[in-house]
Structure 1
Amino acid sequence: MSRRTLAGGLALAVAITLTALPANAEQRTVRFPSAKFPLGARPVPTKTVTAVAKGIDLYDVQAGKATDGYTLTVLMPSGRDYGMQHTAEAVAAEVEAAGETPSVQEVVRPSVADAPSQTVYMVRVGMWPLKDKKKAEKAAKKLKEAGLKVKVDYLGDDGLQTTGPWSAKVVMIDSRVFRGSYAASLGRSVAKRETVSSMVKASKALVGVNGGFFNIHTAKALRGEPVGASVVGGKLLSEAVPGRSAVVLKGRTAKITELRTDVTAISQDGSKVKVNGVNRAPATDELILYTEEWGAKTPTGGTDAVIDANGKVIGLRASGAAVAAGTRVLHANGLAADWVNEHAWENWTVKIVTQVVDLRTRRPLKLTPDLHVIAGGVGLVRNGKVKITAKRDGHDSVNMILRRHPRTLLGTTRNGSLILATIDGRRPGESVGANFHEAAQFMRWLGATQAINLDGGGSTAMVVGKKVVNRPSDGRERAVGDALLVLPE
Structure 2
Amino acid sequence: MQHRVRPALTCLATAFAVLLPATTAAPAAATPAQLPPGVTLSTLSLGAQDPGDVWTVHVYLPATIDGPLGTAATALGSKEIADRVAGALRDKGFEPRLEQVDLPEFADRPAGVLGWIVRVGRYPTSGAAATALAQVKAAGFAGGTRYTAQDGADAGAPQKVHVLRVDFRRFRGTVDTDFGPALKGAETLTDLMAASGAAAGINAQWFYNSAPGGLYVKDGKLLGSATQGRGGIKITHGGRRVDVDAYTARVTLRAGRESIELDGVNRVPGEIWNCGGGGDQPTQKPQHDLKCTDSSELVRFTPEWGVPPQGEGAEALLDARGEVLAVNTTRGASVPPGGSVIQAIGDSTAWLLEHARPGRRLTVSERVEDSRGHRVPLTPGTTILQVGPTLVRDRRTSVNAGADGLIREGADQTFTYNWTVRANPRSMIGVDARGRLMLVVVDGRQAGYSEGLGIAQTAELMKRLGAVEAMNLDGGGSSVMATAGTGIVNRPSDATGQRSLGNVILVRP
> What TM-score results when the alignment is normalised by the length of structure 1?
0.88
In structure 1, distance between residues paired with 2:305 and 2:10: 46
Distance 1:5 1:323, change over 3 A: farther
Q: Distance in 1 between matches of 2:430 and 2:105?
A: 22
Does the alignment pair 1:270 with 2:257? yes
Identity of matched residues, %: 32
Residue equivalent to 2:443: 424
Residue 310 of structure 1 and its aligned partner are, at CA, apart by: 1.3
Q: Is the aligned partner of 1:409 residue 2:428?
A: yes
CA displacement at 1:425 relative to structure 2: 0.2
Q: Is the 8 A contact 1:307 1:314 kept in 2?
A: yes
In structure 2, do the counterparts of structure 1 residues 365 and 415 end up closer, same or farther at CA, with 3 Å as the change threshold? farther
Letter of the aligned partner of 1:289 in structure 2?
R
Cα deviation, 1:349-389, whole Å, max 9, x if unaligned, reads 111111222224x3323223312221222111111111111
8 Å contact kept, 1:14–1:44: no
1:75 and 2:60 correspond: yes
Between 140-149 and 459-468, report the one with greater CA deviation.
459-468
Question: Which position in structure 1 is the counterpart of 2:291?
Answer: none
For residues 413-444 of structure 1, what are the alpha-carbon distances to aligned partners after superposition, in whole Å with 9 as ceiling and x for unaligned? Answer: 23432111000000111100111111111111
Cα–Cα, structure 1 residues 14 and 457, in superposed 2: closer, same or farther, change >3 Å? Answer: closer
Out of 44, 48, 52, the position equivalent to 2:27 is 48
Structure 1 residues not aligned, in runs of 5+: 16-34, 216-222
* AA matched with 2:319: D
Give 2:506's aligned amino acid: L
Q: Counterpart of 2:489?
A: 469
CA distance in structure 2 between the partners assigned to 1:105 and 1:46 by the alignment: 39
Q: Which residue of 1 aligns with 2:391?
A: 380
Cα distance in 2 for residues equivalent to 1:43 and 1:406: 22
**214 and 359 in structure 1: CA distance in 2 versus 1, 3 angstrom threshold:** same
1:446 aligns with 2:439: no
1:210–1:480 contact (8 Å) kept in structure 2: yes
Matched with 2:42 is 59
- Secondary structure at the aligned position of 2:191 is classed as helix
In structure 1, C-alpha distance between the alignment counterparts of 2:438 and 2:23, rounded to whole Å: 22
Answering whether residue 203 of structure 2 is matched by residue 210 of structure 1, we say yes
* One-letter code aligned to 1:445: R
The verdict on how the C-alpha distance between 1:315 and 1:441 changes in structure 2, with shifts beyond 3 A counting, is same
User: Contact between 1:279 and 1:288, CA under 8 Å: does it hold in 2?
Assistant: yes
Shift of 1:329: 0.3
Residue 19 of structure 2: which of 13, 20, 37 is its match?
37
Q: Which moved more, 1:92-101 or 1:196-205?
A: 196-205
Q: Does 1:279 align with 2:266?
A: yes
Question: What CA distance in whole angstroms lies between the structure 1 residues aligned with 2:26 and 2:385?
Answer: 29
What is residue 25 of structure 1 aligned with on the other side?
none
Query: Is structure 2 residue 181 aligned with structure 1 residue 161?
Result: no
Aligned to 2:135: 142
Deviations 1:204-224 (A, max 9, x none): 112211112122xxxxxxx12
Give the TM-score normalised by structure 2.
0.85
Q: CA deviation at 1:334?
A: 2.4
- 1:172 matched to 2:165: yes
1:246–1:257 contact (8 Å) kept in structure 2:
yes
Equivalent position amino acid for 2:179 in 1: L
Contact persistence 2:7–2:153 (CA under 8 A): yes
Q: Deviations over 1:259-317 (max 9, x none)?
A: 111111122x2221111100111122211101111123333111111001111111112
Matched, 1:6 2:7: yes
- Whether 1:224 and 2:243 are equivalent positions in the alignment is no
Q: Establish whether residue 483 from structure 1 lines up as the match of residue 504 from structure 2.
A: yes
* Counterpart secondary structure, 1:376: coil
Describe the shift of the 1:45–1:254 C-alpha distance in structure 2 as closer, same or farther (beyond 3 A): closer
Separation in 2, partners of 1:461, 1:441 = 20
Q: Which whole-Å CA distance do the structure 2 matches of 1:385 and 1:333 have between them?
A: 44
Matches within 5 A, 1:92-111: 92-111=86-105
Contact 2:24–2:42 (CA<8 Å) still a contact in 1?
no
Contact 2:13 2:460 in 1 (8 A): no
In 2: Cα distance, 1:142 partner to 1:70 partner: 15
* 1:344-355 alignment runs, 5 A limit: 344-355=356-367
Q: Residues 44 and 487 from structure 1, CA distance in 2 versus in 1: closer, same or farther, beyond 3 angstroms?
A: closer
Select between 470-479 and 223-232 the one with higher mean Cα deviation. Answer: 223-232
CA contact (8 A) 1:413 1:449 kept: yes
Structure 2 alignment gaps of length 5 or more: 64-72, 271-294, 408-415
Q: Distance in 2 between matches of 1:319 and 1:134?
A: 51
Number of aligned pairs? 455
Distance in 2, Cα, partners of 1:468 & 1:44: 21
The match for 1:123 is 118
Measured against aligned partners, the alpha-carbon deviations of 1:186-236 in whole angstroms (never above 9, x if no partner) come to 322222222122222222112211112122xxxxxxx12322111122211
Q: Counterpart amino acid of 1:336?
A: S
CA distance in structure 2 between the partners assigned to 1:135 and 1:344 by the alignment: 65
**Distance in structure 2 (CA, Å) of the matches to 1:175 and 1:363:** 28
**What is the CA distance between 1:176 and its match in structure 2?**
2.2
Q: CA deviation at 1:137?
A: 1.3
Deviation at 1:483, TM superposition (A): 1.0
State which of 242, 246, 260 in structure 1 corresponds to 2:232: 246
Q: Which residue of 1 aligns with 2:313?
A: 302
Contact 1:424 1:470 in 2 (8 A): yes
User: CA shift at 1:14, angstroms?
Assistant: 5.9
CA distance in 2, matches of 1:181, 1:88: 53
